[in-house]
Amino acid sequence: MMQYDVVIAGGAMAGATLALAIEHLSKGTLNIAVVEPFKVQSEGHPGFDSRSIALSYGTVNILRHLKLWPAIEPHATPIEHIHVSDRSHAGMTDITKQDVGIEALGYVVELADVGRVYQGLFEHSQSITQFCPNSVASVEREQDKVHIELSGGEKLEAKLLVAADGAVSQCCQQIGLELSEHDFDQVAVIANIVTQEPHQGRAFERFTPNGPVALLPMSDNRMSLVWCLRPEEAKRVMALPDGEFLERLQNDFGWRLGAMKKVGQRASYPLLLRHRKQNISHRVAIVGNAAQTLHPIAGQGFNLGIRDVASLAEEIVKQIDDVGRYQGLMRFSVRRESDRQETIWLTSSLVHIFSNDLPAMRIGRNFALATMDNLSTFKQPLLRHTLGIVKR
């Protein structure tokens, strides 16, 4: 039986960030195990098709505070300008880094790069042990500890188990934590593309009758595409040859970046809102997609997850003698309640308002976009969440 203070199920960005945050804040005094099914790709790089994620300004500040940003920054592309528009209608709004007086509105990082950065930090850590490839097979809780058996047969004991093992969390299923699910009746088509004009650090969110199209700036003048479509439409688009795919995208997105020149490997996944009302249980805390998985509109999900991670790490080190004590978990849960509810509500509301082509909705959202562009008071709530400057 191997003993740890904290066992983290899931070593992707949320789980790995949590492990490194706990190590930093506890000055290496806590023993942490990270259980992850997939090995980091150390050979080569996904190249053109590398998948990416947008980090808000607030998330970058959290990573700075945790001393993780210096290792990630060389791999990050700054977002200097966000353009929001509605296809074939007048409403639009722009947010620039000059508007808010910061060096960047956010950054886009490739997951393969961050995975390698974190792997390097794990290998140099004295207090983090990895079990990889491996996963949690069973969980049994007692008054003052948790017994965890891994699929590889290893038996671990911890004061606290953190579920960071994705939307369909095995840990949460093991302990019977209820999952609420809402189907947005949309599918996200994702790919990297190259446009005729350089992106110059610009990000675009364009609302169409089918759903939003987002393009985020990446290195080597690539752009990361998230294109939300009705399921039957997504199926058709996924089957198109590259040339026809780019034509169809051009039609939805427009010509702000000139002609669409190249598309890489495509993937798609159904868009669901999944969330657990409870983000704690006896000797268990839940973070990242295991706590809530949001629609990608406005890029809120991962950034919300990092705010969960930072708050949990802070509460854990306040009770270093017993990191799984209920008082600390309760403080974490109360701290996170309003941000979780507000971000879930904001994201879902945006989907319903901007994926609806009813005339009244269309007029309303165009008025809102135009007003936002002219009156900074209307811009503030959206801007606050876009930048991730949220009380936690």
pLDDT tens-digit profile of 334-343? 999 999 998 8
| Mean pLDDT to the nearest integer, 108-117 | 94
Per-residue CA distances from 276 to 247, 288, 337, 347, 385 (Å): 40, 11, 12, 16, 21
| Mean pLDDT to the nearest integer, 155-167 | 97
Q: Where are the alpha helices (DSSP H) in 111-226?
A: 111-123, 170-174
pLDDT at 41 over 90: no
Quote the radius of gyration of the chain (alpha carbons, Å): 21
Q: 351: pLDDT confidence band, cut at 50, 70 and 90?
A: confident
Q: 386: pLDDT confidence band, cut at 50, 70 and 90?
A: confident
pLDDT at 90 over 80: no
Nearest C-alpha neighbor of 307 from the set 282, 283, 337: 337
pLDDT of residue 380: 61
pTM for the model? 0.91
Domains assigned to the chain: 2-46+110-180+272-350 (3.50.50.60)
pLDDT of residue 375: 42
pLDDT tens-digit profile of 230-270? 999 999 999 999 999 999 999 999 999 999 999 999 999 99
pLDDT of residue 355: 54
Q: 295: pLDDT confidence band, cut at 50, 70 and 90?
A: confident
Per-residue CA distances from 251 to 83, 105, 242 (Å): 17, 28, 14
> Which of residues 13 and 372 earns the better pLDDT score?
13
Nearest C-alpha neighbor of 305 from the set 268, 277, 279: 279
The CA-to-CA distance between both ends of the chain, in Å, stands at: 36
Per-residue CA distances from 288 to 30, 66, 157, 225, 238 (Å): 21, 17, 23, 22, 28
Residue 20 has φ and ψ, to the nearest 5°, of -70, -35
DSSP state of 164: -
pLDDT at 288 over 90: yes
DSSP state of 290: G
Give Cα 171 distance to the centre of its chain.
20
Buried b / exposed e over 256-274, threshold 16 CB at 10 Å, is ebeebeebbebebeebbbb
| Mean pLDDT to the nearest integer, 15-22 | 98
Contacts of 239 (CB under 8 A, 6+ apart): none
The H or E element that residue 107 is part of is: strand 106-110
Instruction: Report yes or no: 130 and 36 within 8 Å, Cβ to Cβ.
Output: yes
Per-residue CA distances from 28 to 125, 145, 334 (Å): 8, 21, 27
> Which of residues 208 and 107 earns the better pLDDT score?
107
pLDDT tens-digit profile of 53-65? 999 999 999 999 9
Lowest mean pLDDT among 83-87, 148-152, 283-287, 375-379: 375-379
| Mean pLDDT to the nearest integer, 116-127 | 96
